[in-house]
Every structure is written in C-alpha cells, then in structure tokens.
Chains A and B, each alone.
Chain A
Amino acid sequence: MKTHAIDLAGERVLLDARRAMAWPREDALLIADLHLGKASLMRQAGAALPRGTTTGDLQRLSALVADHQPKKLLVLGDLTHGAETLDAPWLRRFAEWRRTHAWLAITLVAGNHDRHMVLPELDIDVVPHLDIAPFHLSHAPATHARLHLIAGHLHPAARFRDGRIAHRWPAFWIGERRSVLPAFGTLTGLAPVSAERADSVYAVTPGGILAL
C-alpha cells in the first residue's frame, strides 16, 4: 500500500505514501511544499529544534527518485521557506543532493515562500505555472477553464478516529477539476480539508495510503 494508482483526468497516476505523486507516462514526479530551511530559521528565532530534518527530507526524495525513475521533478511551489545566507548548511546539503541528481530536470512552479530567496546555480527552472496537458500545475489552488489543476500550498490533512485516538494525516485531496498534493516537508503544518461530495481524500498514514 505504499503507492496507490488512480485515474486523474484520464491519466494513470500513482499516489505515493512518501507524499509524492508519480506520473509514469510523462516520467514525472510531482511534489509540493518542501519548505527547506524552515528548521534552521526556527532555530535562529530561538526554537530548540535538532538538526537532521533537511537530510531526512532529501533522503526521502532520493528514495522516491530511485523507485520511480522519473526524468523530471516538478515542484509545485515553496521549495524553500525563507531568506537565508548562501552558506547555510541546509543549502549546502541541497546543492550536494542536486549534484548527485544532475541528470534530473527540475522545474519549480514558484510559490509564495519562494520569493524570499533566489537560489544559486542549481539548474532549476523557475516558472509561474506550467501546462502539461491534461494538467495545469500551479502553487495556489484556483481553477482552470480547460485543464485539471494540480496545486500545493494548502498542506491538506485528513482526520480520522481510531478508537479513542484521533489522527491527523497529510492527505491527497483529489477533486473533479482540481487536486491538491500533501506538503512534502517534515516540518510543515496541516490544514484539514473540507472535501465536497465529489472529492476523494487519500490519507498518508504510517501504514500506507488510505482512501477515505
């Protein structure tokens, strides 16, 4: 149950429990909202967070790339969290990761957080939005006249009660005309979705993808 195949606007896509969506026909891997560097910024502000979150997130991304073998990585915004000096440790680690994945084409659909920082030469295309039929990719969810819109930004979450324990899990929020990916970064918040009748919600649980 690590991945779950669904049909989206006529395309077969895989929802991966590591919070990514694979699109085999296009050899693409889609992720949203990494918020790299958030832990570092929080530490500077006085929050005692241990190091290792960036490394953990990048390891997860490496495993995804190894499993799905995509040719391109499409990031739906908020790759980084805020302004940082170019010698920040997490940025060095990310640059290193980029070097070992140099063959991968990366496109960043710019998000609201990305405006704080211009990334150095990492060979990343930055675009305001991207159309690859039948999908329109953007950071903030809106609507598109023709294409099925895939977005991030919301950090959708699903709630579920299991006995006396209430869970909140990151979720894929799949609609008729619009879908939202879960946030990829570890240190990202969650916002419960208010799904409509026609929508499907897939929760990312420790045990795999759960269709709700």
Chain B
Amino acid sequence: MALRAAERRVIAWMAERGRKPSRFQREAWRAWQAGESGVINAPTGSGKTLAAFGGPLIEALEKGEQKPGIRLLWITPLRALAADLHGQLEGPLRELGSSWRVLIRSGDSSATDRSRLRRGAAEILIITPESLELLLSHADAHERLGDVTSVVVDEWHELLGNKRGVLLQLSLARLRRIAPSMRLWGLSATIGNLDVAINALLGPGSDGRLISDSRPRKTIIDCVLPKPVEKFAWAGHLGLSQLRAVVDIASAVRSCLIFTNTRSQAELWHQAISAVWTHAPESLAVHHGSLDRELRQRIEDGLRDGSIRCVVATSSLDLGVDFAPVDQVIQIGSPRGVARLLQRAGRSNHRPGESSHIVCVPTMSMELAEIAAIRRALAAGDVESRMPPLLCVDVLAQHLATMALAGGFRADDMLAEVRSTFSYASLDEGTWQRVLQFLQSGGASLRGYPDFRRVVEVDGQYHVANPRIARLHRYNVGTIVADGSIGVRFLRGGRLGSVEETFIARMKAGDRFLFAGRTVELVRVRDMTAWVKLVKGQRGEVPRWMGGRMALSNELGPWLQTVLADAHPRERELQALGPVLCTQRERSAVPESEQLLVEQLRVRGTSLLFVYPFAGRRVHEGMAALLALRISRLLPVTIAFGVNDYGFMLSARSLAQFGEPDLRKLLDIENLRNDLLASIASGELARRQFREVARIAGLVFASHPGADRSVRHLQAGTGLIHDVLAAHEPDHILLQQATDEVLENTFDFVALESTMQRCAGVELLVKHPKKLTPFAFPLWAESIRGGLSSEDWQTRVRRIAEQLNEARG
C-alpha cells in the first residue's frame, strides 16, 4: 500500500470517530516520515499519543506483513500508565487490520509475556526506563532491538529533571548505537526549557525538531474567595473552613477532580468531604501514589465509566495517557507553580482547543497572592524549567556495570557513548577513571580493596567478574525510585498500598491511621508489610510521606513579589487580600521588586529576625542555616530557624540589632559553599543522602525480601558504610556525590547562589515592627523546626539530656 493511501486510511478511521487530525498531528507524522526526531509539546487530552504513534502506524499499514521483531519502543515513566496505553495503541492497530502486536514489559510482567518477548512475538513494546535498562543488560540486546525504527518517550518532562531521566539518557545513547536509524520522539507538557528537553533526549548538538500544538488554549483560573479575609488563617492551615464551598461545587457536576498538594492532605480532605457527601458513598474516592496499583486502577476506571463522581487526588493523577476529562477541576491550596497548574487544569479539557478551567481554593491568606501571581506568570508565558542533573557518578557506575554485563565494553568507545548524552557531555577523564576504578577495585587507591571485584578488564574489554555479581546487579538495576517504603495490607489479604518505613516504625500495634480513605488499625509488622484491620468511626493519625511539602517554584517568587507590591491590583484575590497587606504596611512594609525586607523584633523574651527573599522554601532553608552559622561565629548562641516559601526567621534568646552594614556582611556571597557545608551539620545530612547514592551505584544491595535469603546477612546499613568510607577513604567519589546532592537537593544551590547575588544588589528595607506582621506570623507560628548551635557534641548531649529531664517534669 502506498504511503498516502495508508495515511488516508488512518484519517478515515479517525473520521469514523468524529475526529480529524489536527495540524500538529499531521506535522508530527510528516516529520517522522522524513526521518526526523524531536519533542512533541502538547497538553494532555490533545491527542499527542496519536501524534507520536501516527508515523509508525502509517508505515505499519503501508508495509503490511514484515518479519517479526520489535519496531516501536514506547517508554513510559509509570507502570500504571502502561495498561491504558496498551489499549490506546492496540485499538487502531486492530481496527485498521494491522498485524502488529503490543506487549508490556515492566517489573510486573507475567512469565508468559516475558517469554513472548524473548521469542520476539511483538512489534510494539511498552516499557519503563528501568525495564529498558534491564533489556539492554542482556548480551543479545543487539538482536532483539536491532530492528527498532522508532522510540517514544512519554511524559518526558516528568523524567527530565531526575536521575531516572539521567539513566534513560544513557540507555538511549546505547540504543542509538544498536539501532542507528531509529527516530526518537519525546512527549512533553509545557515547560520553560523545551530546548533542553530536546537536547537531553537526543544528545547535545543534535538537530531536533520541536512540534507544538499551537492552537490557542485558554486556561481560566477562578478562586473561591474566603468571606472575611481578616479572620482567615495567616499561618499554615488546612483550610477546611472552605469545605462547604468545595462540596457545593463538586456536588453540582457529574465528575470532579479535587487536587491537593500532599498525600496527607488528600486523605484528610477525602475524610472531611465524605462526612457531608450526599451522593452514594462509593461515588467518592481518594487517589494518591502510595495506594496499591489495582486500587488506583479501579478508581480511574470508575471515573471513566461514571460510577465515581469525585476523586480527591495528588499529582498521581497529574500524569496520564489522555486521561478521561472531567467536568470540574478544583485545586486545594496554591498549585505552587505554573506548569503544575496547567497540567491540572488540563484535566477539565473536553476537546482539543477548548479552554480549560480550574477553581483554586486558598487555604491561607498568602495563597490568594500566589494565585494572582500564577495568573500573571501564565499570561506572560513564564512556565517553570526543569534541569537534568549533571554528571551523577552513581547513575554512571550503575550503567557501566550494566553495560559490562551486556557483553562488555571498551573504555574509549564507552566514554564516547557516555559523553554523547546531555548529562555527561562534560565528563572529564579523571572522574571517568575513578568511576572505572570504583567498579574494578572498589576504591580510588591503586591496590583497591581485598577480595573485591565487580568488573574485570581482559584485553581492554570490561566484563562483570562472575555470575553471582551479575545476578545481584540485575536485582539492583532500577532501584533509583526505591525508598524505604513498606506495604500496607489487610489481614484478610487485600493490598492497600504503601507508607514510609519511618512512619510505621513510630507506631505500635493497636495504633490507628488514615489510609486509602479508611481508618485502619495496625495489627503487626512482618515481612516488610504492615498488616492492618478496618476500624469504624474512629479518627486516626494521617501518615506523612516524604516530600510532604511542595515548594514554590523558583520562577513564581518574583511574580509573587510583583503582585504584592501592586498598589492598585485588578485581581479579585488581591483586593480580598487588601486588608492583610494594609496591616503589613502599617506595621512594617511591603517590599517592591528591588527591595529586600528585613524585620527585627522581640516577642515573649525572644529576639526574632525575619528576612523575605521570596525565593522558595529550599533556598530559604539554606540562607537561614547560613545566617545562623555566621551569627553564631560572632557570638556564642543557639539559634533556631523556621522557613516558608516567602522568607525565613531566626530566633535566639538575645540577638543584637543588626544595622544595614551587619546584614550586608551576613548576606555576603563570599565563602557561600564552604559556610553552607559547615552550617548544615553536613555529616548527618550527607550521610542520609548517601543512602540513595550508595544504592544506585550498587555499593550496597537493595533488599529483596524472600528473593534471595543468602544475601540478607551481607547487608549493612548505608549509614554504617558511609561512616566506614568517611573514616578510611574520605575522598571517595560517592561521598563527594552525596555532599553535592545535599547542597543541590536540600538547598537548591544554584537558585540559592543567584538569590544571594540578587540580595546583594537590592535596597535593604530594615524595619522594627512592634508586633508580628502578617508576613512574619506564619513563620513564627511554625517555628523551631530546624536549629543550629555552635556547641560541640559533649554540650549537645548534655543539652539533650536536660531537655529530656524538663519534658519528664
């Protein structure tokens, strides 16, 4: 069949379903046919799956029967999306009479599927990045993947900014060697740096195409205004006072998604709504990433077939393969970033090109300003960027061991391959040698560690030392996402999901907690599982999950400052916020864009220092730790600090009044890195970060309960290994990586540096308010979270002992 005829059949097939190819879809098909690669930027619900699938589909129809073998790899970040995708790809194939078969390969694949894959009994493979890496670890990867003509990376924006994405960059570099003529397309939501997204996908310097759905899309942001703003919570608050309004909106429509920023908040809101929900109880559900896959699948299906009207969800529902659109989207609290708002609002998008609509429900007064700031940033097209992590030696070590398994490699070839990726383009020879050395002998020193060998070099070719290490390494591939989570199951056997180990560790048998919209009681913990039973009508503790706080995006900070400084705002939110800002002006000041506000006062016998850079929580945490250290060098004092997205607070028994020259000195950018490292009790934080680094690099084995008992007694905590390395090999590359990551992950060092630079150039507004200001109050109310003291260990232990005694009374 000729190409055009095949294309006409696809268009006719779409027409039967009342659709016609949009411009960007046709553009994507043509680009594919011309052999190009690139990124397709289109919102959810716009038909981006078909945009990427169209090219291969048309060719499949054109060519008809071919020899079996995988032609298309569809890489998806979430296993949960694979089943949905399977249907989306198989539908048109079957209805158009193609013989191509679709197969899913992920950690959950059945033995039958695996053997089908080995026989090559599929043309399309849906796969997670980790499973792809595993596939590449086999010596016959060349034969299995040699016929691949196209690769699609779904939700590329989700992978771009993390280590899973870095590992995928390395896998793709290998894939380019195996199938040099393949076309590679990424699907991405709108982010601020699509150019980087293209370069990270295809390798730097490549000539990638950007195809955008250019139809104008309007996003309407509404806001439920609280009644009297003056009484509205200044500090962090769940904002359940808005419950009535939320339930009214949700009840009036056939389908509704309520997004919260944390899993705990989702559980709480679900519980609150269910108490006043007038529709059938089973038409209300809660959905978040810690719930069991099947449970989530049931909820997604229910939303699609109409049996569920309302779902309280976290970002677990941000992702999705053209997920069923809903009538109404509600956002509890501020979405904290433009990209996230777009993604969530897109869920209400019924037809490509139509406007999407979101109702925001602020839970504290400053969120009113955030919503106004997001609206202005969106109008200006200022969407957040995502930067790929660079030069991670742990991911590189894991990948090299994998490649040593896959038939081995030569050092110079491999280095060239690694450098062809965005994240390792500037990898220097020295680091490369140290990573190779780590794999061969364990340490940096020439003699290496006795008895240790993972990868051996024979005639310039690097191989894995023995089959046992090969087996252990395969277990380890893809442990990047693993954290210390523990399964939650009913005694009767039903799976509910997972919570963090640390949360369960605090609980005793008989304790209650809220999970998956139910109150459950912990019965016992065994085999990495928390066994629970249902209890009726009792309130329980809400689990806390890692990353509980969602930080304001770096891009949004300046916009927030702009809207706050606006004396005559058009936005209703800002007008509603008027009285609060008025109080702020009376007691202190509202800073303009080129000003930095500092407030100093004494409350209940404590000296407080507030600084408001509006740079986001992580940056403020770094600045607070830094200032605390620098002050404690001037005078021996124990300083506690609190941070939020707008600013930070330092408190101490007594602090001197700092004038402008003192403050300038405290905020000096000189020695930033060293002071910061000194300030964070860096040992302890680096020790924690080391856990992830050590797992990825394969320094320790991931635990596989039941899988391999002989390994169990050979495990040691990563904290211990950190201490051993720190004592015996302090300049180990993995220790350095852990320290770098502390700076990067905990404080967002790059953003911190630029914030400090900005602070140096602006006017300082030093105020001495008599009472706490509206800006200060949330920080004060939430204070004493972190702290720093210049005391040594002996003194600290004595102080802790004193605290304990006081607590006992």
The chain A residues found within 8 Å of chain B, CB to CB, are 1, 38-53, 56, 81-82, 89, 160, 162-165, 168, 186-190, 192, 194, 205-208, 210-212
User: Whole-angstrom distance from the CB of B43 to the nearest CB of chain A?
Assistant: 39
Contact with A along B723-735 (1 / 0, CB 8 A): 1110111001000
CB-defined contacts of A39 to chain B, threshold 8 Å: 724
Interface residues in B757-809 by Cβ distance below 8 A to A read 785-788, 792-798, 800-801, 804
Instruction: Tell me if B505 and A43 are in contact (CB < 8 A).
Output: no
Query: Complex formed: what's the CA distance from A128 to B196 in Å?
Result: 66
User: Whole-angstrom distance from the CB of A116 to the nearest CB of chain B?
Assistant: 10
- The reply to whether the CB of B681 lies closer than 8 angstroms to some CB of chain A is yes
CB-defined contacts of A190 to chain B, threshold 8 Å: 717
Instruction: Tell me if B787 and A163 are in contact (CB < 8 A).
Output: yes
Instruction: Tell me if A189 and B716 are in contact (CB < 8 A).
Output: yes
Q: List 6 A-B contacts (CB under 8 A).
A: A42-B714, A46-B469, A50-B729, A162-B796, A163-B788, A164-B787
CB-defined contacts of A89 to chain B, threshold 8 Å: 450
User: Whole-angstrom distance from the CB of B733 to the nearest CB of chain A?
Assistant: 11
Given contacts A43-B450, A48-B438, A51-B450, contact A206 B728 (CB under 8 A): no
- The reply to whether the CB of B248 lies closer than 8 angstroms to some CB of chain A is no
Given contacts A164-B785, A164-B786, contact A47 B717 (CB under 8 A): no
Query: Complex formed: what's the CA distance from A207 to B725 in Å?
Result: 21
Closest B residue, CB atoms, query A203: B797
- The reply to whether the CB of B480 lies closer than 8 angstroms to some CB of chain A is no
Query: Complex formed: what's the CA distance from A43 to B699 in Å?
Result: 10
Query: Complex formed: what's the CA distance from A46 to B472 in Å?
Result: 9
CB-defined contacts of B65 to chain A, threshold 8 Å: none
Q: Interface size for chain B: under 10, 10 to 19, 20 to 34, or 35 or more residues?
A: 35 or more
The chain B residues found within 8 Å of chain A, CB to CB, are 438, 442-443, 449-454, 465, 468-469, 472-473, 505, 508, 640, 681, 684, 698-701, 711, 713-717, 719-721, 723-725, 727-729, 732, 785-788, 792-798, 800-801, 804
Query: Complex formed: what's the CA distance from A9 to B787 in Å?
Result: 41
Given contacts A49-B442, A186-B724, contact A82 B797 (CB under 8 A): no
User: Whole-angstrom distance from the CB of A157 to the nearest CB of chain B?
Assistant: 10
**When A and B form their complex, what is the total count of cross-chain residue pairs whose Cβ atoms lie within 8 Å?**
119
CB-defined contacts of A41 to chain B, threshold 8 Å: 714
Instruction: Tell me if B729 and A42 are in contact (CB < 8 A).
Output: no
Closest A residue, CB atoms, query B799: A162
User: Whole-angstrom distance from the CB of B223 to the nearest CB of chain A?
Assistant: 34
Instruction: Tell me if A50 and B725 are in contact (CB < 8 A).
Output: yes
Instruction: Tell me if A207 and B714 are in contact (CB < 8 A).
Output: no
Given contacts A192-B505, A207-B793, contact A42 B438 (CB under 8 A): no
Query: Complex formed: what's the CA distance from A142 to B485 in Å?
Result: 31
User: Whole-angstrom distance from the CB of B110 to the nearest CB of chain A?
Assistant: 30
Instruction: Tell me if A210 and B797 are in contact (CB < 8 A).
Output: yes
CB-defined contacts of A1 to chain B, threshold 8 Å: 794, 797
Q: Of the candidates B454, B721, B727, B787, which one forms a contact with A46 in the assembled complex, judged by CB atoms under 8 Å apart?
A: B454
Instruction: Tell me if B452 and A162 are in contact (CB < 8 A).
Output: no
Query: Complex formed: what's the CA distance from A49 to B473 in Å?
Result: 16
Query: Complex formed: what's the CA distance from A192 to B506 in Å?
Result: 10
Given contacts A40-B451, A160-B800, A207-B793, contact A48 B786 (CB under 8 A): no
CB-defined contacts of A51 to chain B, threshold 8 Å: 449-450, 728
Query: Complex formed: what's the CA distance from A194 to B717 in Å?
Result: 20
Closest A residue, CB atoms, query B801: A210
Instruction: Tell me if B716 and A45 are in contact (CB < 8 A).
Output: no
Q: Of the candidates A162, A187, A211, which one forms a contact with B724 in the assembled complex, judged by CB atoms under 8 Å apart?
A: A187
Given contacts A187-B720, A192-B505, contact A48 B699 (CB under 8 A): yes
Instruction: Tell me if A186 and B681 are in contact (CB < 8 A).
Output: no
